[in-house]
């Protein structure tokens, strides 16, 4: 169980209280945060995050690195499956990664720009 977050802020319910998420919603949020945060920058867990590195040189390297980052983000959830990975470089030279995740019969999509 986790607290829902959107744009770095807790998502609030109708009473103004943060609400909890579980299952696929929790997994999607965890993966998004893991890909968005630079490894070592979160003081409470230095292992959280990723290191995208410089992969802008070749499309093959970009896709391989994106797949490695996505698989690393879901590595501690053995029942989660990754599919439909897409990676590209944005106009401002950032990496855009999108993919689908399946967990216990449910599926959802993640899109991150790092």
Please write the tens of the pLDDT for every residue from 14-43.
999 998 988 888 888 888 888 887 777 777
Span 88-105, mean pLDDT? 89
pLDDT, one tens digit per residue, over 37-68 is: 777 777 777 777 777 655 555 566 888 888 88
What is the model's pLDDT at position 74? Answer: 85
| 52 vs 11: CA distance, rounded Å | 28
What is the model's pLDDT at position 56? Answer: 53
| 72 vs 112: CA distance, rounded Å | 14
More confident site: 106 or 60 = 106
What is the model's pLDDT at position 110? Answer: 92
| H or E element in which residue 103 lies | strand 95-103
Span 78-96, mean pLDDT? 88
Q: Which domains does the chain have, with CATH numbers?
A: 2-113 (3.10.450.40)
What is the model's pLDDT at position 53? Answer: 59
Inter-CA distances, 97 with 7, 10, 14, 25, 104, Å = 18, 24, 33, 18, 23
């Amino acid at each position: 169980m986790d607290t829902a977050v959107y744009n770095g802020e807790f998502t609030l319910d109708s009473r103004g209280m943060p609400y909890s998420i579980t299952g696929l919603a929790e997994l999607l949020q965890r993966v998004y945060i893991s890909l968005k945060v630079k490894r070592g920058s979160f003081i409470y867990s230095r292992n959280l995050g990723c290191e995208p590195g410089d992969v802008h040189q070749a499309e093959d390297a970009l896709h391989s690195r994106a797949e490695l980052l996505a698989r690393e983000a879901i590595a501690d959830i053995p029942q989660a499956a990754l599919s439909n990975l897409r990676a590209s470089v944005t106009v401002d030279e950032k990496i855009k990664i999108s993919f689908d995740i399946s967990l216990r019969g449910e599926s959802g999509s993640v899109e991150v720009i790092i």
